[in-house]
A and B are shown apart, each in its own frame.
Chain A
């Protein structure tokens, strides 16, 4: 296991080990997505309060949670890069940002269109929504900082520092906005209702879409990481060899 992890830390091994893995990951994720969505959209009984609008939950919850997970993963990878100088960790941290930002945006949009019929408005300055919007801003900041440097080393390290500072701030932001919310609107929590209260017909499809969205997240991260590896290792002999064999027809 340790050996395996150690090997993943080397860009070349990461590239070679993920080559055969991608079609499987893609296939399983898409299969799970199709099962989850057909079940969720067509076969799950409508919610007794929200009607068919609740079907947005099957995509909203996984992708919104994925956005948070992406930020945490980015910060962890950034910390690994800063502490142990593992290049692969920086590559993953770099590619987590655009994927996570896209997930964040999807979370915000699906949430808005779920919210309009449910609360009567697309947007509320609720603690959850507001801190989620700020999370999106944090992603944008990390990406903007990374893009601003010419030197790869400096841009990696600067983005890592900002990602770590950001992750320290996320809980503070959440609690500040939550406090602010109770001050101005009373303690009205706009949370989804307790999942346990729902019958399994309703929540089981969410498992399928949940794992599908996680799988698709890792798929995107792996694909982007491989691109980044190819570019960063462009002078290495193994990349030159790949260009003549595996990548000859790309």
Chain B
């Protein structure tokens, strides 16, 4: 049952006569799997940075005495 079906590595990549089709299909599969993993990570980094920048802006305004109430509101939105 657990016998490697190919005689050589080259044989494995050739997949009989179907190498092109098999590897393109697997490429598309991995592209989607990796995208589904990579996109949320990048998005997370983007959101955290956005929120951090927003928080710092808010703190600056709270620290500065010239801040008006309307500015603070617009920063919160």
Judge A-B direct contact (beta carbons within 8 Å): yes
Q: Is the CB of A43 within 8 A of B44?
A: no
Q: How far is the CA of A53 from the CA of B24 in the complex (A)?
A: 11
A110 near B29: Cβ-Cβ < 8 Å: yes
**A60-78, CB < 8 A from B:** 60, 63
Tell me if A53 and B47 are in contact (CB < 8 A): no
A56/B22 contact (C-beta < 8 A), A223-B41, A224-B43, A240-B55 known: yes
Tell me if A176 counts as interface (CB < 8 A to partner B): no
A235 within 8 A of B: yes
**In the complex, chain A residues 82-132 whose Cβ is within 8 Å of any chain B Cβ:** 98-99, 102-103, 105-106, 109-110, 113-114, 116-117
In angstroms, Cα B4 to Cα A42, docked, is: 6
Inter-chain CA distance A10–B2, complex, in Å, is 47
Binds B, one of A44-52, A134-142, A188-196: A44-52
Which residue on chain B has the smallest CB distance to residue A99? B36
Measured between alpha carbons, how far is A109 from B21 in the docked complex, in Å?
A: 10
Residues of chain A lying within 8 A (CB to CB) of residue B48: 230, 243, 247, 250
Tell me how far the C-beta of B74 lies from the nearest C-beta in chain A, rounded to whole angstroms. 14
| Nearest chain B CB to A230 CB, angstrom units | 5
Per-position binary interface string of chain B over residues 29-41, scored 1 when its CB falls under 8 Å from any chain A CB and 0 otherwise:
1011101110111
**Given known A110-B29, A230-B44, contact A243–B12 (CB-CB < 8 A):** no
Residues 4-61 of B contacting A (Cβ, < 8 Å): 4-6, 12, 15-18, 21-22, 24-26, 28-29, 31-33, 35-37, 39-41, 43-45, 47-49, 51-52, 54-55
A173 contacts the other chain (CB 8 A): no
A117 to B25, CA, bound (A): 12
A226 within 8 A of B: yes
- 16 more A-B residue pairs beyond the given contacts A33-B33, A56-B26, A116-B21, with a C-beta to C-beta distance below 8 A: A41-B12, A43-B1, A43-B3, A46-B5, A52-B16, A52-B18, A52-B22, A56-B22, A63-B32, A109-B24, A109-B25, A110-B25, A220-B36, A224-B43, A230-B44, A243-B55
Q: Which residues of B contact A (CB under 8 A)?
A: 1-6, 12, 15-18, 21-22, 24-26, 28-29, 31-33, 35-37, 39-41, 43-45, 47-49, 51-52, 54-55, 76
Residue A146, interface by CB 8 Å: no
Min CB distance, B15 to chain A, in Å?
Answer: 4
Assess whether A8 is interfacial by the CB under 8 Å rule: no
A42 to B6, CA, bound (A): 7
Contact of A223 among B21, B25, B40 (CB under 8 A): B40
Distance, CA A113 to CA B49, complexed state (A): 41
